[in-house]
């Protein structure tokens, strides 16, 4: 039978802004995340603009990607920006020691990345090298990119770019507790203070500095960083991956049973508790919430696809990932006062990707489609939602059956995102709307006949949004029947 739940959308007590930067994307020099996935150089068989594939850039424009984080990840803490500028033939070929031990040709460097960001229409979020770089190297990179004048600006112009670029966001290293240098928190806080001191924006511009934050539930890290480095930073990051089966990642991305489905969603739901606890610590030292919690790496991390290169983190993306995306995007709404930026990992061909490619072929993943459905959330105002949902459980894995959030966009239109985690039963959510004037509702749904449904190059439309007709609006109540294993976006009018 159909389950039931109730909800109230509080249009009368609007909350914080759902910052567009929650939809930031992360592109690391890892596997085919850059080379092959975005950059094809002068491969004439794959239509491209100055080396970046037109199909992928076009798809990213469709998402309205607001920000791209680059060049890592772990890669960032051993990246030397000077190796990626100037004539391509003269750039050193390095070994990507983190990711597969393959060669890194440095073909995509600062100028190329900035071109990509401009093609997509995204802002740049650059991660600096704290791990094995110096404060001077970091400061000079910032100057090279942003300065209107001086020797470094002249060098930039000589390399093809006269106008300074905007770098609104700069990461002071990445995962300093691990690949960024295996530092302990008090040391990392001091290092962050030191490096951040030398990141200087030219007059009239601003660069928000993002400190390397905690791994998952490492609350001590957050406490130390916020206590000791808050004066030098604008955001503290947090990385939390959904890793069903625990570390090291091993569960198949596309072959799993209901327990694998439920475990994945339960691991994803931990995000809510993790944000709540980190936020509480930040509130102690930063009660006015000046400093963002920037969850600049999140998403599913499974075992890699069979037959793919070790270290390339290539994984399929199923309907399960669509649920993961929606549940996280709904959780971020609840924490919109503190969480102003998040970046799913990663944009193309790596982990929970938007897009998969193989040679000239490209396919949009279920995750891509959910991100597209949530586009109206960008810079909208969160409307608090009170939800009474039954639990869905399989074996020891338990999650609320319904995940939901609501926003009012700048034009006054209300959007309600919902997901039903139960793969077997539909659920009717009777939603009371307070302070919302609307007379009709349309919607979009992502679902599929099986939990494991994926889009392939040959069958790209297995998991795609279609029109949703299961919602009615009348007398201030929105009645929605969510099919099993579905993500729904409702647009009120």
> 327-349 in b/e burial notation, b at 16+ Cβ within 10 A?
bbbbbbbbbbebbbbbbbbbbbb
Residue 162 · residue 119 · CB < 8 Å:
no
In angstroms, the CA 73 to CA 406 distance is: 31
Nearer residue to ligand AHR within complex by CB, 54 or 250:
250
Residue 457 · residue 30 · CB < 8 Å:
no
Which range of residues in 230-238, 343-351, 359-367, 384-392 is near ligand AHR by CB under 6 A?
343-351
Identify the CA nearest to 51 among candidates 60, 62, 42, 63: 42
Among 185, 243, 345, 373, binds ligand AHR (CB under 6 A): 345
Identify the CA nearest to 269 among candidates 367, 123, 401, 430: 401
Residue 47 · residue 54 · CB < 8 Å:
yes
Find the residue with minimal CB distance to ligand AHR: 73
Residues in 133-152 that interact with ligand AHR by CB under 6 A: none
Residue 413 · residue 493 · CB < 8 Å:
yes
Among 11, 15, 31, 72, binds ligand AHR (CB under 6 A): 72
Among 15, 37, 71, 73, binds ligand AHR (CB under 6 A): 73
Instruction: State yes or no: residue 491 binds ligand AHR (CB under 6 A).
Output: no
User: Min. distance of Cβ 479 from ligand AHR in angstroms?
Assistant: 40
Instruction: State yes or no: residue 28 binds ligand AHR (CB under 6 A).
Output: yes
Which range of residues in 253-261, 344-352, 356-364, 404-412 is near ligand AHR by CB under 6 A?
344-352
In angstroms, the CA 144 to CA 202 distance is: 11
Tokens 């924490």: give the residue.
335
Residues in 35-64 that interact with ligand AHR by CB under 6 A: none
Instruction: State yes or no: residue 173 binds ligand AHR (CB under 6 A).
Output: no
CB-facing half-sphere around the CA of 476: CA atoms within 13 A: 10
Among 106, 174, 279, 405, binds ligand AHR (CB under 6 A): 174
Nearer residue to ligand AHR within complex by CB, 234 or 297:
297
28 an active-site residue? no
Residues 6+ apart with CB under 8 A from 55: 46, 47, 362
Q: Judged by CB under 6 A, how many residues of this single chain contact ligand AHR? A: 10
User: Min. distance of Cβ 252 from ligand AHR in angstroms?
Assistant: 19
Instruction: State yes or no: residue 318 binds ligand AHR (CB under 6 A).
Output: no
Instruction: State yes or no: residue 104 binds ligand AHR (CB under 6 A).
Output: no
In angstroms, the CA 254 to CA 125 distance is: 31
Nearer residue to ligand AHR within complex by CB, 73 or 244:
73
User: Min. distance of Cβ 212 from ligand AHR in angstroms?
Assistant: 9
Nearer residue to ligand AHR within complex by CB, 101 or 440:
101
Among 104, 143, 234, 297, binds ligand AHR (CB under 6 A): 297
Tokens encoding 251: 């569960």
> 90-125 in b/e burial notation, b at 16+ Cβ within 10 A?
ebeebebebbbebebbbbbbbbbbbbbbebbebbbb
137 an active-site residue? no
Could you tell me the CA-to-CA distances from 196 to 61, 79, 356, 469, 482 in Å, in that order? 32, 17, 36, 51, 48
Among 56, 63, 74, 473, binds ligand AHR (CB under 6 A): 74
Instruction: State yes or no: residue 175 binds ligand AHR (CB under 6 A).
Output: yes
User: Min. distance of Cβ 74 from ligand AHR in angstroms?
Assistant: 4
Which range of residues in 71-79, 249-257, 321-329, 362-370 is near ligand AHR by CB under 6 A?
71-79
Instruction: State yes or no: residue 346 binds ligand AHR (CB under 6 A).
Output: yes
Binding mask 347-386 for ligand AHR (x = CB under 6 A): ----x-----------------------------------
- 3-state SS, residue 188: helix
In angstroms, the CA 316 to CA 46 distance is: 22
Residues 6+ apart with CB under 8 A from 244: 251, 260, 263, 264, 267, 300, 302
User: Min. distance of Cβ 452 from ligand AHR in angstroms?
Assistant: 23
Q: Which of 112, 175, 263, 267 is catalytic?
A: 175
User: Min. distance of Cβ 349 from ligand AHR in angstroms?
Assistant: 12
Taking phi over 0 as left and psi of -120 to 50 as alpha, with beta for the rest, 312 belongs to: alpha
Q: Contact residues for ligand AHR (CB under 6 A)? A: 28, 72-74, 174-175, 297, 345-346, 351
Q: Mind telling me the catalytic residues? A: 175, 297
């Amino acid at each position: 039978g159909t389950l039931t739940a109730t909800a109230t959308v509080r249009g009368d007590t609007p909350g914080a802004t759902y910052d567009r930067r929650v939809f930031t994307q992360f592109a690391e020099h890892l596997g085919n995340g850059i080379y092959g996935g975005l950059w094809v150089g002068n491969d004439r068989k794959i239509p491209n603009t100055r080396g970046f594939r037109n199909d992928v850039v076009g798809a990213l424009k469709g998402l309205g990607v607001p920000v791209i984080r680059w060049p890592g990840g772990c890669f960032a803490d051993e990246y030397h920006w000077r190796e990626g500028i100037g004539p391509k033939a003269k750039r050193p070929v390095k070994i990507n020691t983190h990711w597969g031990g393959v060669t890194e040709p440095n073909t995509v460097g600062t100028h190329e990345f900035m071109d990509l960001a401009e093609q997509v229409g995204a802002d740049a979020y650059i991660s600096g090298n704290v791990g094995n770089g110096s404060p001077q190297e970091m400061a000079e990179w910032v100057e090279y990119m942003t300065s209107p004048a001086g020797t470094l600006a002249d060098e930039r112009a000589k390399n093809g770019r006269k106008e300074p670029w905007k770098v609104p966001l700069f990461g002071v290293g990445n995962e300093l507790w691990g690949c960024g240098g295996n530092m302990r928190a008090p040391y990392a806080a001091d290092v962050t203070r030191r490096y951040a001191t030398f990141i200087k924006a030219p007059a009239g511009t601003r660069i928000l500095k993002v400190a390397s934050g905690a791994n998952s539930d490492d609350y001590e890290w957050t406490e130390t960083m916020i206590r000791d480095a808050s004066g030098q930073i604008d955001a503290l990051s947090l990385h939390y991956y959904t890793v069903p089966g625990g570390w090291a990642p091993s569960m198949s991305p596309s072959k799993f049973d209901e327990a694998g489905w439920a475990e994945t969603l339960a691991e994803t739901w931990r995000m809510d508790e993790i944000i709540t606890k980190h936020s509480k610590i930040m509130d102690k030292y930063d009660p006015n919430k000046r400093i963002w919690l920037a969850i600049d790496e999140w998403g599913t991390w499974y075992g890699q696809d069979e037959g793919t290169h070790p270290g390339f983190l290539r994984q399929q993306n199923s309907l399960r990932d669509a649920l993961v995306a929606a549940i996280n995007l709904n959780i971020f709404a609840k924490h919109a006062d503190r969480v102003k930026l998040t970046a799913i990992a990663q944009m193309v061909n790596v982990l929970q990707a938007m897009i998969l490619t193989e040679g000239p072929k490209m396919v949009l993943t279920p995750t891509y489609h959910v991100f597209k459905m949530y586009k109206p959330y960008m810079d909208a105002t969160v409307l608090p939602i009170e939800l009474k949902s039954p639990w869905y459980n399989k074996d020891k894995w338990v999650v609320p059956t319904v995940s939901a959030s609501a926003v009012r966009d700048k034009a006054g239109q209300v959007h309600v995102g919902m997901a039903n985690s139960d793969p077997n039963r539909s659920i009717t959510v009777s939603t009371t709307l307070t302070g919302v004037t609307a007379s009709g509702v349309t919607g979009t749904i992502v679902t599929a006949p099986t939990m494991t449904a994926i889009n392939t190059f040959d069958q790209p439309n297995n998991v795609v949004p279609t029109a949703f007709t299961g919602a009615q609006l009348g007398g201030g109540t929105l009645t929605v029947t969510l099919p099993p294993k579905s993500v729904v976006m409702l647009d009120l009018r």
